Structure 1
Amino acid sequence: MIKLNLGVNKDVSNEEYHADREYISSSGIKKLYWDELAYEKEYILGEKEDKAPSNALQEGTAIHTKILEPHLYDQQIVVYQEFDKRGNAYKAFELQNPGKLVISLSQQMRLDGMFKAYQDRPEAVELINSSEKEFTICKEINGIKCKVRADAINIDKGMIIDIKSTGYSAELETFKANAYSKLLSYDISAALYSMVAEAEYGKPFDFYYVVISKSEYKCEIYKASEVAQINGRNKIFKALEKLAYYRANGKWPENGKKAPEKGAYIIRDL
């Protein structure tokens, strides 16, 4: 198993990145910001509840692989030639393909539609093709080790690109309403990725979403606003402040949701 180090980490697999517990990711920071006890249970006590990945999560993994690592697609993903993944025949097929993500024929059809929508947006294809893929960077923020794994990064142009598949519309207002909800908290992701890249390369980075809708087979490109970045950074600082307190005192601060200290501010993204 590869050990992550501060700075750029080459040749790190997705599995190795997620297995690491020395560095905190955007997913961990989101959980820590919203619910420190849930964070403690999963990331400190190691009591994460094992759940079978949902169809949406499987399709998100598959479209990421197809776009970012097409050379690995056939090694990691296999299609069960039926519309439903049920019964003894499906269970036998799973056993015949250990370690692979098994998707149904209906899922494959959705993936084909999503991939075509992506290919029909040359700007999106250019963003991805001109960038390095699955790029891992680790840095310290306020004494806490943090990690990011960018879908794609163009270091020369100062751009980070994140692919987002959605069952909703890819239209701006719909995406924004979902993206900055408590459930997804993409503002935290955008801010963390930008902060870590800026710390590594000493230059500002913009954060872009390539949004692919599987309900309308449409692809849109959006840039995270300055407002979203500020909100995300303030949430990150608040979350890391909680973690630093826990590590120093063996308990969480009594008022984990207290107002930001002087100098930090929240702006509503309208």
Structure 2
Amino acid sequence: MTSQKILNMPDKDYRNAEGVANSELKLIENSQSDYIWSKNAPVDATKNEAAQLGTALHCKLLEPERYDDLVLVASVKGRTTKAFQEMQADNPNNIVLTPDEAEKINIMAASVAAHPSAKAIINAQGDCESSIFATDPETGVLLKCRPDKDCVKSLGALVDVKTTAIIDDWRAKDSFGNSLRWKNPLFTYDYGHQAAFYLYVASLHYGFDVNKFTFVVVSKSISMGKYPVGVFSVTRQELQAWGFWGRMLDNIEKYQMCHETNTWIAEEGFSFEIIHDDNVDDVEVTFEGDN
């Protein structure tokens, strides 16, 4: 396979399909053992609240026609109640929300619709939740990504919807060498690596450089009674300058090496930086009474 784009592919089928995804490459970067662990470790569905809420919001915004089939609203308020957990167990292919969570999703979606830039992107022409597969020409590794919305033909960009605890973190910038930018989720959650990988896979598929990745960000916390919304874009050139692009390519190469040699055993060390300031002069201490 050189490249392929599949529409309406069930998420479960995508996850089980051949190919390496961005999340797997980031695991390999830390330890190739983590990649095998991610394939085999059990999932506690009762502790997956954040992912379920995120998926529900994505569906409400990008595929509203599927929302009522995917999301079920329980009659009980607590996730820890027996009735709620039984409903989850009886409906493994659905997302079960409490009434309060369902109302929160509705308000957050309406908040996005009230934001001109976010609304324009959500309504732009493009395929939602399409699955893109492409073979890396350097390593022969099959790569896969599933952008929330592919607006390459209409906006020249891939689009991703994110929820965040504090939207102002997305506005943190580096100024005169200070460390504020490290609060930005591009770094703290490594979304820069995701953007680089998705742009790379899309570029292989389309046969030309796709140079912009856009985040539609919705706050999970209230500000003045509302859920803030923001739109943030990053370019290929910025991702290259900040080191994400090179890391992403290195991780593809590392996966290829591990796969070819079947080397998945690894141990991690510690990386602490000890700063020595050679410019600090020795301090002479003089006690009272000394001559």
Q: How high is the TM-score relative to the length of structure 2?
A: 0.76
Shift of 1:41: 2.8
> Who is 1:155 aligned against?
152
Give the counterpart letter for 1:242 in structure 2. K
> Who is 2:275 aligned against?
none
Give the counterpart letter for 2:54 in structure 1. G
> Who is 1:134 aligned against?
129
Query: Is 2:239 the partner of 1:228?
Result: yes
Give the counterpart letter for 2:33 in structure 1. L
Which aligned runs of 4 or more in structure 1 are off by greater than 3 angstroms? 91-98, 173-176, 252-257
**Counterpart secondary structure, 1:211:** strand
> Who is 2:33 aligned against?
37
CA distance in 1, matches of 2:96, 2:221: 21
Candidates 188, 213, 216, aligned match of 1:207: 213
**Counterpart secondary structure, 1:118:** helix
CA distance in 1, matches of 2:256, 2:92: 41
Shift of 1:63: 0.1
Q: Pairwise mapping of residues 96-111 of structure 1 onto structure 2 (< 5 A)?
A: 97=91, 99-111=93-105
> Who is 1:62 aligned against?
56
**Counterpart secondary structure, 1:138:** strand
Q: How high is the TM-score relative to the length of structure 1?
A: 0.82
Query: Is 2:43 the partner of 1:50?
Result: yes
Shift of 1:255: 10
CA distance in 1, matches of 2:51, 2:172: 20
Shift of 1:73: 0.7
Query: Is 2:249 the partner of 1:237?
Result: yes
Q: Which has the larger radius of gyration?
A: 2
Q: Pairwise mapping of residues 77-226 of structure 1 onto structure 2 (< 5 A)?
A: 77-94=71-88, 97=91, 99-130=93-124, 131-141=126-136, 142=138, 143-156=140-153, 157-173=155-171, 177-181=183-187, 184-205=189-210, 206-216=212-222, 217-225=227-235, 226=237
Give the counterpart letter for 1:248 in structure 2. E
**Counterpart secondary structure, 1:251:** coil
**Against the structure 1 CA distance between its residues 12 and 209, is the aligned structure 2 distance closer, same or farther, given a 3 Å change threshold?**
same
**Counterpart secondary structure, 1:241:** helix
**Counterpart secondary structure, 1:150:** coil
Q: Pairwise mapping of residues 11-30 of structure 1 onto structure 2 (< 5 A)?
A: 11-20=8-17, 22-30=18-26
C-alpha RMSD of matched pairs (Å): 2.7
Conservation of the 8 A alpha-carbon contact between 1:158 and 1:203: no
Specify every segment of 5 or more residues in structure 1 that has no aligned partner in the other structure, as ranges.
258-270
Q: Residue deviations 1:16-67, cap 9 Å, x none?
A: 11122x200111111111222211333xxx4223222532211101000101
Corresponding pairs, count: 249
Give the counterpart letter for 1:123 in structure 2. S
> Who is 2:261 aligned against?
249
Conservation of the 8 A alpha-carbon contact between 2:74 and 2:96: yes
CA distance in 2, matches of 1:255, 1:95: 36
**Counterpart secondary structure, 1:110:** helix
CA distance in 2, matches of 1:12, 1:150: 12
**Against the structure 1 CA distance between its residues 19 and 122, is the aligned structure 2 distance closer, same or farther, given a 3 Å change threshold?**
same
> Who is 1:266 aligned against?
none
CA distance in 1, matches of 2:113, 2:132: 28
